[in-house]
Amino acid sequence: MNTTWHEGPRLEPARRAARGMVCTVDHLASGAGVGVLADGGTAADAAVASSAVLAVTTQHMCGMGGDLWALVHAESGPPDTLNASGRAGSGSDSAALRSEGFEAMPFRGDLRSVPVPGCVDGWMALHERRGRLPLERILAPAIELAEQGFAPTTLLEAAIDRVLDVEGADDYRRYRSEGGLITRPGLGRSLRAIAAEGREGWYGGEFGERLLAMGDGLYQPADLRRPAADWVEPVGVPVWDHTFWTVPANSQGYLTALAAALVAGLDDPPASADDPAWAHALIEASKQAAFDRASVLYEGADLTPLFATEALAERRRRIDPDRASTVSPPVAGGGTIYLCVVDGDGMGVSLMQSNAAGFGAHIAVPEVGVFLHNRGIGFSLEPGHPAELAPGRRPPSTLCPALVTKSDDSLRMVLGTMGGDGQPQVVLQMLSRILQAGEAVDHALSAPRFTLTVPDALGFDTWAKAAEITVAVERGNPWEHGLAARGHAVSPRPWGQGLFGHAHLIDVDGPRLLGVAEPRALASAAVGR
């Protein structure tokens, strides 16, 4: 990893120029992806290889018990768009939860907040459509790390103690008692089954059998036979002489697109990201984009009316350049990874994989050692709500990978971040810094950020009424006093706090690729060849 110390604990982002590039939160995953590229694999092959390694080494953020979304730019025109988010089991019953006194989905410790995981189906779909190498080669690095062991990153080391009492956390208890490397034999066994049998080796194998038994009627065999991966239409919006692309509902990706369109259309947008007016404009645009998210975001929602000229103008009119608004979008953090890959042929992949919250539902499939996500917390328990928990339905999702194309439809960049409900705000800041303010991509990624938060947030308060919006800002920012003067409640936080995301990007604007990996993640790497 190419890093240097700067301003105390802050790190410069890992940055390399190359023909092929992989950026992830873990150098082991980035290295695996580049190895696949070196063997003639496509960006899709490398993305699956990197994602599989992260499922082994970074389970506090993601894993095979979670979901996946991806964008693939391979030719001109709209990108291939993959929704591999899981559906609620056939035994899901919102009325039963309400009868027990629940007003919102249980956050942890309850299988009813665990839709059927879609990650492995996402791998299979990516490989089938855009892959070249055999699965055995692609999954080999992840299998080796699971069986032979790996040293935990600083972030994983700090997270392990949260789940040592969870049934199925044997891999981590063994590491705590014996030291050495972390091995994950059950996961290695499952990865070998997937390499040999495809999705059947997972959903029809040891994992699927144990999930059905644990669910005791919550899931049916048909739920696991139904593929969770669908190719869908992306959301695209022209901004700053480029087109910004993201994934559609049931994802919140439209929030970045909508906020960018609002900022780009302001009469006198601030030109410098050092100006407090710049941060204020982006904060207010984020609020105007998100204030009605709870009512408009659900599987199958048609969000195109939000981008109509008059609808944009109405939201834009609510942005006061001098005062903070009282609109309160729901916001929170989470347990997610973002990775991106561009290969020598120009194919770009922007991918997110997630457990929802850190270590998901804190429920593991013991024999396999996979923690299950709690993405079902996005469901509503309001009777008749279009996102109400129901069998076979997908919950609203925070995952929103992105990419940008030039006016000739060629790829400009792939980018994204983890960070729960703050993801759209972090991506918006990177977009504006690079495309509007003309900043270098490494500075745009490492510069101080803001995110909107609320007091006592659990992590995903998607359906809660936000109380008081606070603008969390990283220390070292140039906006703090200017935002306070405009009426924002400003909360300074340490640089690098997880609230501000772990972002990566690869820029294609030049003769060679420029990859920038998130310095806040400490073990991240941009690796090229």
Q: What is the pLDDT of residues 230-264, one digit of tens each?
A: 999 999 999 999 999 999 999 999 999 999 999 99
- The domain segmentation of the chain, as residue ranges, is 232-334+413-510
pLDDT for 184 = 96
| DSSP letter (8 states) at residue 408 | T
Query: Do residues 421 and 398 lie in contact, with contact meaning Cβ atoms separated by under 8 Å?
Result: yes
Do 333 and 358 touch, CB atoms closer than 8 A? no
Spatial distance between the Cα atoms of 67 and 357, rounded to a whole number of angstroms: 12
- The mean pLDDT value for 165-170 works out to 93
Q: What is the reported pLDDT for 7?
A: 28
Residue 333 pLDDT greater than 80, yes or no = no
> What confidence score (pLDDT) does residue 348 get?
96
Question: Region 491-503: what's the mean pLDDT?
Answer: 84
Confidence bin at 334 (pLDDT 50/70/90): low
Strand order from edge to edge, sheet including 67-73: 230-232, 80-84, 67-73, 348-356, 335-342, 21-24, 525-528
- Asked if residues 110 and 100 have their Cβ atoms less than 8 Å apart, the reply is no
CA atoms of 59 and 51, how far apart (whole Å):
11
pLDDT at 11 over 80: no
Residue 308's pLDDT is 97
pLDDT of residue 58: 92
| pLDDT at residue 9 is higher than 70 | no
Q: What is the pLDDT of residue 463?
A: 31
Residues 183-198 have a mean pLDDT of 97
Fill in the DSSP letter of residue 433.
I
Q: Does residue 464 have a pLDDT over 70?
A: no
The per-residue pLDDT for 513 is 87
Range name among 151-160, 205-214, 247-256, 310-319 with the lowest pLDDT average? 151-160
Is 16's pLDDT higher than 80? no
User: Of 455 and 105, which is predicted with more confidence?
Assistant: 105
pLDDT per position as a tens digit, 36-70 = 999 999 999 999 999 999 999 999 889 999 999 99
pLDDT at 395 exceeding the cut of 80: yes
pLDDT given at position 454: 80
Closest CA to 331 of 427, 471, 484: 471
Rg from Cα positions in the chain: 21
93: exposed, middle or buried (C-beta count within 10 Å: 0-12, 13-18, 19+)?
middle
What mean pLDDT comes out for the span 221-234? 97
pLDDT in tens, 336-382: 889 999 999 999 999 999 988 889 999 999 999 999 999 999 999 99
Q: Which CATH class is domain 232-334+413-510?
A: mainly alpha
Q: In the predicted model, what is the mean pLDDT of residues 471-494? A: 94
Q: How far is residue 211's CA from residue 118's CA, in Å, rounded to a whole number?
A: 13
pLDDT for 6 equals 26
pLDDT digits (tens, 9 = 90+) for 399-411: 999 999 999 999 9
Residue with the bigger pLDDT between 85 and 454: it is 85
Identify the pLDDT of residue 517. Answer: 86
Tell me what the mean pLDDT of segment 110-120 comes to: 97
pLDDT for residue 332 = 46
Confidence of residue 456 (pLDDT cuts 50, 70, 90): low
**Alpha carbon distance 198, 59 (integer Å):** 22
Is-contact 507 13, C-beta < 8 A? no
Q: Residue 461: its pLDDT value, please?
A: 52
Average pLDDT of the chain is 90
Using 50, 70 and 90 to split pLDDT, how confident is the model at 3? very low
pLDDT at residue 5 tops 50: no
Q: Which amino acid is at 519?
A: P
pLDDT band at 518 (very low <50, low <70, confident <90, very high): confident
Return d(Cα 257, Cα 290) in angstroms, integer.
11
Grade residue 270 by pLDDT with cuts at 50, 70 and 90. Answer: confident
pLDDT of residue 327: 66
pLDDT at 467: 59
Check whether 329 has a pLDDT greater than 60.
Answer: no
CA distances from residue 175 to 53, 92, 160, 164, 169 in whole angstroms, order as listed: 18, 36, 10, 10, 10
pLDDT at 100 over 60: yes
Q: Of the segments 15-19, 101-105, 138-142, which one has the largest average pLDDT value?
A: 138-142
pLDDT band at 1 (very low <50, low <70, confident <90, very high): very low
pLDDT of the residue at 114: 97
Higher pLDDT among residues 329 and 429, named by residue: 429
Q: Residue 88: what pLDDT? A: 98
pTM of the entire predicted model? 0.92
Whole-angstrom distance, CA of residue 376 vs CA of residue 382: 14
